[in-house]
Amino acid sequence: MEPSPAVARILDGMVDLHCHSGPGPFPREFDHVEGARDGDRIKMRAFVAKSHHHSTVMDLQAARRSFEGIGTQVFGGIVLNNQVGGINPYAVEMCLRMGGKIVWFPTFSSRRHIEFQEEALAGGFPRSTVELTTVPVLLHDAQGRLRPEVGQVADVVAETGAVLNGGHLHPDDMAELFAVGAERGVEKMVASHPNFISDLTLEQGVELSRRGVFMEHEVGMYLPNDHPHFGIEVLLEWIAAVGVERTVLASDLGQLGRTRPVDAFIEVTTALLDHGVAEKDARRMLVDNPAHLLGLD
């Protein structure tokens, strides 16, 4: 898909905070290098490679020579699922001090995700190619007290200037996590696809945004011909309520057989312009805000 001149202007320099390039136990449409090469089609500035199972920092360091001549940068991060030991400050420390940019709290290991497993699979969430053990990774102990590891992770995120992401937590847990992060000096916080799995209400999203949290909406959920979760009017409603100042658009793509991120960004950006979103506002959500979160501005 080729962008119109207006869409090409908007996407020039864009940053994707949520790209599922491979390798990993979930089958992927492309690897990190292929994703970066494809990003050059629209002059993408950077994307963050997200694996639900491991820190992607080592992947990228091992492949660093393969990125020579490619303009799109790729950064790593870590998701605190079972495969990295859950809420593991030691794994977070290594990831971030070796250049990682985002720490996602549990996704498929969160109690919320496990409760919504059938919905997630029906919505296109991939199945692992190998058998993996999944048990709930919880923020609280049996007495309901916040686990000390939560604060320890927040401390490392604050120290390194990284992004704290709420993963697939329950809205109440997510709000508590972000409160802990703010208390401990975390300045960059993001809620991914707030209206899917975590299933925040619009009012809850607005309240978090007032506390400094960015709402990250995934263009991969607004493709009418590829596993659509919502119509474009839902995205417009969230943008209007939260404001472009606290909204980020990412892809959450890379699943086998699905639209590539570049084409999804072209399609959804075109739809936003068709529905009256100003070019400067689209750039704020696609370029300026995510660049700020990664410390690229």
Report in angstroms the alpha-carbon separations of 184 from 90, 125, 140, 150: 17, 33, 18, 11
Q: What is the CATH number of domain 5-293?
A: 3.20.20.140
Q: Kindly state the greatest CA–CA separation across the chain.
A: 58
Q: At what angle do helices 202-210 and 232-242 cross, to 10 degrees?
A: 40
Class of residue 34 by CB neighbours under 10 A (exposed 0-12, middle 13-18, buried 19+): middle
pTM of the shown model: 0.95
Output the 3-class SS for 81-117. Answer: CHHHCCCCHHHHHHHHHCCCCEEECCCCCCHHHHHCH
Q: Where are the domains of the chain?
A: 5-293
Per-residue pLDDT 10s for the chain (297 aa) are 899 999 999 999 999 999 999 887 878 988 899 999 999 999 999 999 999 999 999 999 999 999 999 999 999 999 999 999 999 999 999 999 999 999 999 999 999 998 887 665 555 567 777 788 889 999 999 999 999 999 999 999 999 999 999 999 999 999 999 999 999 999 999 999 999 999 999 999 999 999 999 999 999 999 999 888 999 999 999 999 999 999 999 999 999 999 999 999 999 999 999 999 999 999 999 999 999 999 998
Output the 3-class SS for 175-220. Answer: HHHHHHHHHCCCCCEEEECCCCCCCCCHHHHHHHHHCCEEEEEEHH
